[in-house]
Structure 1
Amino acid sequence: MSGSKILAGMREAVSYARGETVDVRETVIKTPAEVDVKAIRERLGLSQQAFAAQFGFSAATIRNWEQGHRHPEGPARVLLKVIEKDPNAVLRALSA
């Protein structure tokens, strides 16, 4: 069964590469709007370094987000939104 799915996928990929029309399934996931990283961090009473270490970011990333040089995108924005709503849920998941 899985071999036939792989072959079907390969055929579809070849057709796509040739420019032929192929049926595709697109999944669109809405990510939260911009998040205020500094506000989240300050509400938790953490320094940039401590926030970064606790949640798996680099301190430079936190600094760049807070200074507006860069903006969190996609999965990072989702993670920050979860941290904003329930930081303990993230901490439990990271310690598991």
Structure 2
Amino acid sequence: MEYIDVTSIRKKFDLSQSEFSKMFGSSLRILQQWEQGRRRPQGAARVLLKVIDYAPDVVGKALHV
């Protein structure tokens, strides 16, 4: 499974962990575990993170960020 750098994806939006987790519907605890490498995103969260990483400007526009 390909590594996803959740911290760098979050920083593309210049958001805190709390803000990012609220914006994308993830729990803060899960986000922290992803960033610390204790867990890996799976399923729909993994897909969403890949889309956010690929096109942060499009996702930002869609969510009015």
TM-score by length of 1: 0.56
The correspondence for 2:48, drawn from 79, 83, 87, is 79
Q: CA deviation at 1:88?
A: 5.0
Mark the structure with the bigger radius of gyration.
Answer: 1
Q: What residue number does 1:64 align with?
A: 33
**Fraction of identical pairs, as percent:** 46
Query: Using the alignment, how far apart are the partners of 1:53 and 1:87 within structure 2?
Result: 16
How do 1:1-96 and structure 2 match up within 5 A? 33-90=2-59, 92=62
* Bigger shift: residues 57-66 or 78-87: 78-87
Measure, in 1, the Cα distance between the counterparts of 2:4 and 2:13.
15
- Give me the CA root mean square deviation: 2.0
Structure 2 gap segments, 5+ residues each: none
- Where 1:33 maps in the other structure, the secondary structure is coil
Q: How far does the alpha carbon of each residue in 1:13-40 deviate from its partner, in whole angstroms, 9 at most, with x for none? A: xxxxxxxxxxxxxxxxxxx722100011
